[in-house]
Structure 1
Amino acid sequence: MTLVRADGQQVATSIAESVLAGPGLGEFHSWFTSMASVSFMDATVIPLTALDGWAGDFDTGNISHHTGKFFSVEGVAVDIPDGPVTTWTQPIINQPEIGILGILVKRFNGVLHFLMQAKVEPGNANGLQLSPTVQATRSNYTQVHKGKAVPYLDYFRDTAQHHVITDVRQSEQGSWFYQKRNRNMVVEVAEDVAVLDGFMWLTLGQIHRLLAVDDLVNMDARTVLACLPFHGSALVSALAPSDDSFRSALVRSCGPEAGSVHGQNEVLRWITDVRSRARVYTSMIPLKDVKHWHNTDGTLSHDSGRFFDLIAVKVEARGREVQQWTQPMIRPSSTGVVAFLVARIGGVLHVLVHALVQPGCMDVAELAPTVQCAPENYADLARPLFLDEVLKSSEVRFDVTLSEEGGRFYQARNRYMIVEVEAGPEHEHPDFRWMTVNQITELLQHSHYVNVEARSLLACLHSLSGPGVTA
């Protein structure tokens, strides 16, 4: 059966209809509870010297897998003359291969449903989380680990007979990964799809309600959802804002007709200017040469006790392609804060984005949330701009703690917040700009403009566009 290609307006309408189709979640919670009873993963912290199948290079100290695949842990030297900290070295994950993060969608009774997976990861704070249909590195899906084949992968590797809604390479955490990218895809199919154990069809409205639950929708699902073409006049019309509510201002922000403080060409020039004037110099160095880091009992930590540790874990799993393995992981020292300040300007919701320089970025800087930090890391530094405004505000529209990628990071969690303010001169800064949701979404059709934390938070902001989630 050949799928009839839909144009942009039809896709936008379909997305809006899926947002509005939010049946009860009783069936989901029963399914998810049953999956938790059969999906087991135990990750025990072990010394780095106890890694099996991984080796530290004698000359460099770098840690890599014996196959040369998956990833390696190396050192990076960073020089940012104009930054709050001008020079430092640190461990960083180097994973040059491109993975696939993909969600399969299909219409049931005319409504788009998303095939989501209940998946355990060794770094998850609570074990099982809701994941994309496919979440796999190249080493995983080429079965370097000798494990089972990745289900549904062929839908994303051969899309000729399907409708590709989204397909774009996006970055991952620029503080912990060196130039890491994954292919974010949403593919619509028309034919029947067998639903395997551990998978379930959900509407976008249902997923949006689940985003309000701590540690439930994982990072990989959030970044793919953010890359949906969640904009356009058809979407605005279908979601039908008709009053002066926060939701109406948000929906108007998704449309191209909405007025914006800065035109899109001006935004692009600003990003180019930030990338051109920022002096950022990074070079890969041997892991053994990182300074102010020490190895205690097989864990590599910063001398201050802040930032993160490099640890190793031994994993025993059920419900995964491989049942047992060891690996290095990054363990952050504290829970971070990831927040958007938003303001209604001319009746249209605007988001204050930050052109943030990070050592692992492909092109110097990407658009980040207004605030993206672990506050405890700034005990000896000036507080990040707008952090106190976020934490002290009474106009909090969204507030939930969500996990970061559980395959490389151990119990990494951030408090995701959306805080409404009155736009004022205090928000004017060369590295910040007010943008509409439509403008951000347009940039997401291209690579390396919007960072992973901002994409996660944008998915959370989208969740407030439907009537089922209260802002």
Structure 2
Amino acid sequence: MTDLSAPPVGQPAAGSPFIATKIAESVYARDSTLTGLDEFHRWFGDVARRSPCEVRPIPLDDLVGWHSDPVTGDLVHDSGRFFRVEGLDVHIPDHPVPRWNQPIINQSEIGILGILVKEFDGVLHCLMQAKVEPGNVNGFQLSPTVQATRSNYTRVHRGRAVPYLEYFLGQGRGRLITDVRQSEQGSWFYRKRNRNMVVWVEEDVELLDGFRWLTLGQVHQLLGEDDLVNMDARTVLSCLPFSGAAPLTPLAAGDEGFHPALARSCGGAGGSRHTVDDILRWITEVRSRSEVTTARLPLNRLDRWHRTEYAVTHETGRFFDLVAVDVLAGGREVKHWSQPMIKPCDTGVVAFLVKRIDGVLHALVHALVEPGYLDVAELSPTVQCTPVNFDHLPAEARPMFLDEVLNAPPERIRYDVVLSEEGGRFFHARNRYMIVEAEQETEPGHPDFRWMTVHQLVELLRHSHYVNIQARSLVACLHSLSGQPSAA
């Protein structure tokens, strides 16, 4: 039975010392009496073998259940649900490229990304799912308990019901730990948001095929493997009211190594370069002075984009293509369907530069303007780009700090893993996620960058539209380093 010091059922628990301690204990639990990691990998491989996924490119006109609007050329589902692909005209006067237009996904409905957590032998475990997505480079990846759009969980597709959904709708059947709407990629989605939820249950939960209970420590170890923990799992994990290992680990006052600095950063111990109030004022100032004008356009009226039999593509071959795929997949609510997807031209780079400031680790965040955001700008990683997209632009357009990240010596690279983006909408979209210690003299020198602690980022994650999807993934990656053995 849960300790009486725990928050009452149905009340958000962010900031609770009880929850912070339980999360920290789970972070340190790098093994479990339920499933060891060797067993997990055998199970995960078996699920993939039993439920193969076949994805093949098809002509845009061969999409089943979709049609091109005869007037606009927009790709629209016959039901009017799920999403549509349309055009967007963008004008940002201070941007290296001040005006452009592009295809963009408009998905107005709010989906649910939810993780169920429960104690076993006194240790908090997460119920994770082996889920296949058509855009994943390797088919199956580790996903939240529930990962579903409103159209999916209301069964517009007439498929099977979404397992465990009842824990995340209405009053639910457990203690609500996290519940916040967060944005997704502002360059490929138009104002898309999903509900990120964590629910703690005490009742017995039937373990269905394709699901496993794992400690946070085990999930964090899996975050060290390429293309394994999916984007939706990472964003939910980042929204946990995480205070790092600090509640369980006494820190020597003079120990300024990387691991103690990270623990202080996660737990809020020690100072920060800027207060949260200063950060909030800075974000508001960036949003207020940034001129961003967007206008939705018919897909067939985009400049420099051309529709071929198999794709809508930019005339330079850069950025991304809009493609169509036919999918045959096991382990899904619907086994056969087709859909449009965005296919990026190359692997991107997503990185935080981090620095120890007075013994506390800080990350250099960028208040980045993107056309699909609901509120102009969100906090992004230090570097977030696809480098080849800048090869044709003048040197001054090259993203700040990109070369420092790419040229960092091995001893300054703390995390370096290739992770996939949303496999339900993007085809083989992958980014190299990096955490790199900056040269100590590194200062932003630009009004759109600030040093922030991990604790400050987590505090803002209690609210919507402050921290973007790429930065949330990196917050989860930083958390995954906190349970590792001490590093210099």
Q: TM-score, normalised by structure 2?
A: 0.94
Partner of 2:168, secondary structure, is helix
Change (3 A) 1:189 1:322: same
C-alpha change, 1:197 and 1:94, in structure 2 (3 Å) is same
How far apart, CA to CA, are the structure 2 residues paired with 1:38 and 1:405? 23
Deviations 1:143-199 (A, max 9, x none): 000000000000000345411110000000000000000000000000000000000
Looking at structure 2, the residues matched to 469 and 101 of structure 1 have their Cα atoms a distance apart, in angstroms, of: 32
Residue aligned with 2:267, SS: coil
> Match of 1:206?
218
SS in 2 for 1:146: coil
Tell me by how many angstroms 1:109 deviates: 1.1
Partner residue of 2:26?
18
Kindly state the Cα deviation for residue 241 of structure 1 after the two structures are TM-superposed.
3.7
Identity of aligned residues (%): 64
Output aligned runs, 1:212-227, within 5 Å.
Answer: 212-227=224-239
> Structure 2 CA distance, aligned partners of 1:331 and 1:432?
30
CA 1:221–1:425 in 2, change beyond 3 Å: closer, same or farther?
Answer: closer
Contact 1:19 1:205 in 2 (8 A): yes
1:441-456 → structure 2 map (5 Å cutoff):
441-456=458-473
**TM superposition shift of 1:108:** 0.6
Q: Is the 2:258–2:487 Cα contact (8 Å) retained in structure 1?
A: no
Q: Give the Å deviation of 1:237.
A: 2.3
Q: Within 5 A, what are the aligned runs for 1:81-160?
A: 81-160=93-172
Q: Does residue 387 of structure 1 match 2:402?
A: yes
Counterpart code for 2:246: V
1:295 aligns with 2:307: yes
State the match for 1:194 in structure 2: 206
What pairs with 1:29-428 in structure 2 (closer than 5 Å)? 29-231=41-243, 236-242=246-252, 243-381=255-393, 382-394=397-409, 395-424=412-441, 426-428=443-445
- Runs of 4+ that moved beyond 6 A: none
> Cα 1:133–1:3, aligned 2, differ >3 Å: closer, same or farther?
farther
User: d(CA) in 1 for partners of 2:37 and 2:399?
Assistant: 38
1:216-258 deviations in whole A, cap 9, x for unaligned? 00000000000001128xx512144443321110010012332
Deviation at 1:356, TM superposition (A): 0.3
CA contact 2:91–2:293 (8 Å) conserved in 1: yes
Distance 1:239 1:216 in 2: 29
- Quote the Cα distance in structure 2 between the aligned partners of 1:388 and 1:372: 12
How far does the alpha carbon of each residue in 1:380-432 deviate from its partner, in whole angstroms, 9 at most, with x for none?
22210000000001110000000000000000000000000134354231000
Which has the larger displacement, 129-138 or 20-29? Answer: 20-29
- Aligned-CA RMSD value: 1.5
Equivalent position SS for 1:326: strand
In structure 2, give the amino acid aligned to 1:144. Answer: V
Q: Secondary structure at the match of 1:352?
A: strand
Structure 1 alignment gaps of length 5 or more: none
Residue pair 1:39, 1:128 contacting (<8 A) in 2 also: no
Q: Greater shift after overlay, 90-99 or 426-435?
A: 426-435
Cα distance in structure 1, aligned partners of 2:442 and 2:317: 37
Q: How many residues align?
A: 469
Equivalence for 2:10 = none
Unaligned stretches of 5+ in structure 2? 8-12
2:456 — aligned with what? 439
TM-score by length of 1: 0.97
